Amino acid sequence: MGRFSSEKYGVRKGAWTAEEDNLLRKCIEMYGEGKWRQVPLRAGLTRCRRSCRLRWLNYLHPNIKRGVFDQDEVDLIVRLHKLLGNRWSLIAGRLPGRTANDIKNYWNSHLSKSLAARAARVEASTSIKRAKVIKPHPRAFSINSRWLLERKNFVEPQPRDKVSKSPLKLREEEPMLSRKSILVEDVMESGAFTTEHRTKEELPAGFRVEGIEEIRVETKEGHVEDEGHGWDDLLLDVDVWGLLDTENGIEMPR
DNA sequence: AAACAGTACAACCGCATATAT
DNA sequence: CATATATGCGGTTGTACTGTT
């Protein structure tokens, strides 16, 4: 209702014209990203700085990939959403070329409904039983862990550039590979996590094993499913992002 | 062809956090 | 240290587009 035409206090709102896009693009090319306060003036736009920033990050940025999401991307979104919830910018950080806004829109218009429908179907056809199961819970995985330090290929991550926090910047830097690869490959190789029972002593130092109340789903036919807690899900359950972003391993971004 | 409903997506807003003064 | 300002994020809205009746 008038959102795409209102001009209050001389500030334009609503849909961007091709001319405005060009002005903004030229301005960013000339002065670079950031200093959004100065952008409207420099670009000769009667837009607020936030509108300029949003337009650039969600639409004009050259790295943005447009078009439909392929199956791999959808799978990744679903998995990351399971892990991170509605932290769209973090999810976007793992999907090169996709913006948080795109992913959020896609989730809201496609995935949330279909997943809710699927959950409803599962709900209708299953009974829920609580069972005590043991699974590894490496939240206290210290960076100084002897086990970790002995791993091949371990590279101490460099402090992150303070200004490069945007998803697009993170994509370019990919600072996560070192410890991530250890978690995914070396831990697997070590056999610390398998479906077989192992004693605590066999786990790498720093890993904690504790009983976790976990919901298991038993279908009416009597099959027991673990609600998708296969290897992939276990890895996602691990606080990988927290591990990568802090020295001692415990801290989730807000 | 017109009316209506549903969907997609760009854009705005409020709040939280980071940074500067 | 306190305050002001800038930036980033997620929720929400509104319009354009598309399909259906």
Å separating the CA of residue A1 from the C1' of nucleotide B1: 27
pLDDT at A63: 83
Q: Is A175 helix (H, G, I), strand (E, B) or coil?
A: coil
Higher pLDDT pick, A126 / A139: A126
CA A212 to chain centroid, in Å, comes to 24
Task: Name the H helices within A87-176.
Answer: 88-93, 100-106, 112-125, 146-150, 167-173
pLDDT at A4: 41
Q: Which amino acid is at A90?
A: L
pLDDT at A124: 66
Q: Which residue has the tokens 């999907």?
A: A95
Strand B: positions under 7 A of a protein C-beta atom: 7-14, 16-19
pLDDT at A154: 36
**Is 60 exceeded by the pLDDT of residue A75?**
yes
Mean pLDDT of chain A: 59
Q: SS3 for A20-39, per residue?
A: HHHHHHHHHHHHCCCCCCCH
CA A39 to chain centroid, in Å, comes to 29
pLDDT at A159: 34
Strand B lies under 7 A from the Cβ of residue A100: no
**Is 70 exceeded by the pLDDT of residue A241?**
no
With cut-offs at 50, 70 and 90, classify the pLDDT of residue A116: low
- Least confidently predicted of A58-67, A177-186, A224-233: A177-186
Q: Is A174 helix (H, G, I), strand (E, B) or coil?
A: coil
Counting Cα atoms < 13 Å in the Cβ hemisphere of A219 gives: 8
Q: Which residue has the tokens 């008038």?
A: A2
**Is 80 exceeded by the pLDDT of residue A229?**
no
The CA distance from A30 to A43, in Å, is: 10
The CA distance from A42 to A26, in Å, is: 10
Instruction: For residues A157-172, give the mean pLDDT.
Output: 34
Strand B lies under 7 A from the Cβ of residue A154: no
Q: Which amino acid is at A212?
A: I
Nearest nt to the CA of A6 via C1' is B12
Report yes or no: A84 and A91 within 8 Å, Cβ to Cβ: yes
Q: Which residue has the tokens 């391993």?
A: A249
Residue lying closest to nucleotide C9, CA to C1'? A89
Q: Mind listing the pLDDT tens digit for each residue in A11-48?
A: 788 888 888 888 888 888 888 887 888 888 888 888 88
pLDDT at A236: 40
Nearest nt to the CA of A87 via C1' is C10
CB-based contacts of A162, cutoff 8 Å, min separation 6: none
Which residues sit close to strand C, CB under 7 Å? A 1-4, 15, 34-37, 49-50, 53, 86-90, 100-101, 104-105, 108, 165-167
Domains of chain A: 7-60 (1.10.10.60), 71-119 (1.10.10.60), 130-245 (no CATH)
CB-based contacts of A244, cutoff 8 Å, min separation 6: A157, A175, A176, A179, A180
pTM above 0.85, yes or no: no
Compute how many other C-beta atoms are within 10 angstroms of the C-beta atom of residue A149: 12
pLDDT at A140: 36
pLDDT at A117: 66
pLDDT at A127: 57
Q: Mind listing the pLDDT tens digit for each residue in A78-98?
A: 888 888 888 888 888 888 888
The CA distance from A210 to A138, in Å, is: 10
